[in-house]
Amino acid sequence: MNVADSGTVLLFLLPLFSTACFPDFPGVSGDSAERSSPGDTDEADDPTGEEQPEDTAPKDRGDSGHQPWDTNTCIGFTDADGDGFGGSEGQLVPCDDLPLGVVDNDDDCDDTNDAVHPDGVEACNGLDDDCDGTADSEAVCGCPVHPREGRPYLFCADNANWEKAVEACRSLDSYDLVVIGSEQEQAFVFDAASRVDHGDWWWIGFHDRNAGPELEPDAGWEWVDGSAVLYTNWATEAGQPDNADGDEDCAHLYDGSGLWNDLPCGTTAYHGTQMHFICETTR
């Protein structure tokens, strides 16, 4: 952005020039009297003709004309990851001589990852690789994507038993079977799942496969990723979890209510109701 191109920007920047920002501008000293006399040479200021140490380093500042009020002064942005797109941190720089690591745009949505920028290629990895404001898509992940607070969840209406569901989520970069940590997350997951498919059931990453018989039916449940159990939503009025037939160690959401039930982990369909699954990014 050329400062001289925009009166608004100039007005915005004016207070900066009279404050502590000035000494930080490359090639500009804090001596306002010297800045106000661009025609003066160092030699003219010094009647002895002797070179003064403080004048040697920024010698070319008066010659290059890169003063804050000149048409050659621009706002540059630090490109910390070196992908050619800057972050939001702006600074005054000479337009035709950008410092190393500074670019003329602030278009990078993640200036710590050089694979993430507006020319990036979207991949199924929980990141917004191309900076279009959305992380992942059905096109790259293979299942409908619904984000919550910027984090993508995949609603896979494939038929799968619980183990296959875990395998499918983990085959993607930075995904696992969903972990539900709050009433709000439960509400989001159930609402999105209902919109993708009505009438079938959805595996979640909750199981008690490691619990001994003495813990059945409702103790010893854990999340696939070891997260603390902060919330449950069992269909308690229907007596769930019940470990029916002594063999129900994996949890799913019912359609219609979103309440949880335990089923045998190898179930792919239950009397005609299909078992789908929900993946959540681990990022």
User: Contact residues for Ca ion (CB under 5 A)?
Assistant: 79, 81, 83, 85, 108, 111, 122, 125, 127-130, 132, 134, 136, 240, 242, 248, 261-262
Which residue do the tokens 């498919």 mark? 197
CB of 222 to Ca ion, least distance (A): 17
* Whole-number Cα distances in Å, 266 to 184, 209, 254: 29, 12, 17
Query: Which one, 17 or 270, has the nearer CB to Ca ion?
Result: 270
Query: Which one, 77 or 277, has the nearer CB to Ca ion?
Result: 77
- DSSP helix/strand/coil, 92: strand
| Maximum Cα interatomic distance, the chain, rounded to a whole number of Å | 103
Query: Which one, 67 or 261, has the nearer CB to Ca ion?
Result: 261
In the chain, which residue ranges form alpha helices assigned H by DSSP?
7-17, 32-35, 42-45, 53-56, 61-64, 138-141, 162-170, 183-196
Question: Is residue 261 within 8 Å of 221, Cβ to Cβ?
Answer: no
Beta bridge mates, 185: none
CB of 127 to Ca ion, least distance (A): 4
CB of 114 to Ca ion, least distance (A): 7
CB of 242 to Ca ion, least distance (A): 5
Residue 91: how many other CB atoms lie within 10 Å: 15
Give the separation between CA 139 and CA 162, rounded to whole angstroms. Answer: 24
Query: Which one, 81 or 208, has the nearer CB to Ca ion?
Result: 81
CB of 243 to Ca ion, least distance (A): 7
Query: Which one, 123 or 187, has the nearer CB to Ca ion?
Result: 123
AA letter at 197: D
